[in-house]
Structure 1
């Protein structure tokens, strides 16, 4: 098999660490952007070569020399209201990464986005990739990621091939995001089901995401967007309960009405905006939109155009977590 040389941003994060494992196990080489000594040590321990720089550095192309593909997975994923710093990281950072790739002579790139660009607080039921973006973003994270998607598509031309992947609710081995927060909330008594939690959600096991990214790079159409998820949606409460059970943690029975959280989120967002970020409520409309209503994605396009099929079932992923922890 031919070795491909990848440049990866976000390599020390949850998705990035698993991408390094996935790619190096296939015999490829990875140069991973690292902003700190700790990040550099983490990516190098996984088999990548660290390049010390920041997303916005002007010499980013230097670290890409000799690479053939860029995967831009780094992002500020804070679901609070951080418009200035988050926008710079997610939007200006995306432009700098892709423009630097072009300067380095790279011909192919993948931008890792999110289903959050579609969120408006209402249910999304089996939506496809051409579902329109809301006229007004639910929060700064969604706004910045949607703007970064447009940057990525604008960068695509006959000389520079760019594809976009949107996962939903990434989970699985080595999880340092969703599962630890879920366990902490359950143990502290702060976890409650919104309206009972009986709505459906799409999920994406980390190995299925890595597979989908690889297929999108190989078969994706220039400038196109692809949803990557596990095969079938699942009830949110059932899945979260199963995740907790893998760590020996029992799920709560208590529930909180959605109308109450919407009221708190709206008032908190208003206070945040008026105070210039000095005040923050207990929940934001951005964070609420990700887990309060059904969000399910149709992956027909990925199956038909990329040849994507989930390679690990939800049951197998849960069993792996139960054996190995996160």
Structure 2
């Protein structure tokens, strides 16, 4: 029987790059699409679009008919205050996906998680997969993605292997979300270095995420989690400066803000958001600060050892590619 892979979130940044890679390898791919525009994007990638939503179980049943493998990339990545939509998509939506996959006889699944499941506002240094999820997550994104990961791992077994991957700070070509937002913030004077920005961060080029997902689908052990990164760490300020330079954005005038000031701003914003039911919010959420304001470095020895994972794109190569693409635009 020919393998057929279903990708949820197929028109998103992660999803479309995963779809593009598998199609190029001659694999039959279906992409779950919530709208006509998403369906068109999936079709243009060479995959078969199937209309549906993770909250619509009948549509999931139809999408998974005859599917042998699943890549669950759909998620609400909002880093602000938790919303009902985020809880529904990341928690109930994930539950719907794996329950339907079991019923459809899907054999292998890769769940796209995130290092954010470990975030509680403190630095994360050389974390491996044995680190526990925190009792008090930094925000709604960490909490709901942590919950989604638990749901995915609980679905492992009874004929279906579920493997979880956690990339950190996904970047690179075809980024229509994070990089444009960073460029806009820098040009508007809203970018600042937190405490000098000298803390280290891991990163994961989109090509390396796709490679890790492919290997996880082929070789990953069911019920296991694997971190994915570019294989080395970099000071956050240096990284942002290099990344924005590919878009001809100069960061030499960006100011550094003391951590005490940042903490006051974050805590005040969280308080106002809580008191106002989200009607008022500060300029920086606790989730955002935990994501970009602290050391976050990850150990990928397990992925190297068990998956044979080797990054296919170095940071220097990825930056050069972005610069070349920007020059052509």
So what's the TM-score if we normalise by structure 2?
A: 0.96
In the alignment, is the contact (CA less than 8 A) between 2:8 and 2:71 conserved in 1? Answer: yes
Equivalent-residue separation in structure 2 for 1:4 and 1:196 (angstroms): 50
* Superposed counterparts of 1:191-270, under 5 Å: 191-251=191-251, 252-270=253-271
In the alignment, is the contact (CA less than 8 A) between 1:155 and 1:162 conserved in 2? Answer: yes
Equivalent-residue separation in structure 1 for 2:42 and 2:281 (angstroms): 34
Structure 1 89/26 Cα, relative in aligned 2: closer, same or farther at 3 Å?
same
Please, which runs of 5 or more residues in structure 2 have no aligned partner? none
Cα deviations across residues 91-135 of structure 1 (Å, max 9, x unaligned)? 110010111111221111111000001011111111101111111
In the alignment, is the contact (CA less than 8 A) between 1:3 and 1:27 conserved in 2? Answer: no
- Give the drift of 1:85: 1.7
Equivalent-residue separation in structure 2 for 1:309 and 1:58 (angstroms): 37
Moved more, 146-155 or 266-275: 266-275
Equivalent-residue separation in structure 1 for 2:103 and 2:314 (angstroms): 40
Equivalent-residue separation in structure 2 for 1:146 and 1:41 (angstroms): 31
Q: Does 1:104 align with 2:66?
A: no
Q: Runs of at least 4 residues of structure 1 off by over 6 A? A: none
Equivalent-residue separation in structure 1 for 2:243 and 2:169 (angstroms): 12
Equivalent-residue separation in structure 1 for 2:274 and 2:2 (angstroms): 49
Q: Give the aligned partner of residue 299 of structure 1.
A: 300
Equivalent-residue separation in structure 1 for 2:80 and 2:249 (angstroms): 27
Cα deviations across residues 256-304 of structure 1 (Å, max 9, x unaligned)? 1222122121121122222222221111100110011110000000000
Equivalent-residue separation in structure 2 for 1:222 and 1:20 (angstroms): 22
Equivalent-residue separation in structure 2 for 1:5 and 1:173 (angstroms): 26
In the alignment, is the contact (CA less than 8 A) between 1:153 and 1:223 conserved in 2? Answer: yes
Equivalent-residue separation in structure 2 for 1:48 and 1:129 (angstroms): 33
How many residue pairs match? The answer is 325
SS at match of 1:180: helix
Structure 1 153/191 Cα, relative in aligned 2: closer, same or farther at 3 Å?
same
SS at match of 2:121: coil
Q: Give the aligned partner of residue 24 of structure 1.
A: 23
Cα deviations across residues 12-37 of structure 1 (Å, max 9, x unaligned)? 11111111111111111211111111
The CA RMSD measured in Å over matched residues stands at 1.3
Please, which runs of 5 or more residues in structure 1 have no aligned partner? none
Q: Does 1:282 align with 2:283?
A: yes
In the alignment, is the contact (CA less than 8 A) between 2:82 and 2:139 conserved in 1? Answer: no
- Give the drift of 1:3: 5.6
Q: Give the aligned partner of residue 48 of structure 2.
A: 49
In the alignment, is the contact (CA less than 8 A) between 2:126 and 2:298 conserved in 1? Answer: yes
Q: Give the aligned partner of residue 170 of structure 2.
A: 170
In the alignment, is the contact (CA less than 8 A) between 2:112 and 2:165 conserved in 1? Answer: yes
So what's the TM-score if we normalise by structure 1?
A: 0.97
In the alignment, is the contact (CA less than 8 A) between 1:122 and 1:293 conserved in 2? Answer: yes
Cα deviations across residues 228-281 of structure 1 (Å, max 9, x unaligned)? 000100111111111111111111331112221221211211222222222211
Q: Give the aligned partner of residue 37 of structure 2.
A: 38
Equivalent-residue separation in structure 2 for 1:4 and 1:127 (angstroms): 35
* Superposed counterparts of 1:130-169, under 5 Å: 130-169=130-169
Equivalent-residue separation in structure 2 for 1:256 and 1:20 (angstroms): 41
Structure 1 3/262 Cα, relative in aligned 2: closer, same or farther at 3 Å?
farther
Equivalent-residue separation in structure 1 for 2:276 and 2:192 (angstroms): 29
Equivalent-residue separation in structure 1 for 2:246 and 2:276 (angstroms): 41
Q: Give the aligned partner of residue 89 of structure 1.
A: 89
In the alignment, is the contact (CA less than 8 A) between 1:62 and 1:104 conserved in 2? Answer: no
Equivalent-residue separation in structure 2 for 1:316 and 1:4 (angstroms): 33
Equivalent-residue separation in structure 2 for 1:158 and 1:64 (angstroms): 17
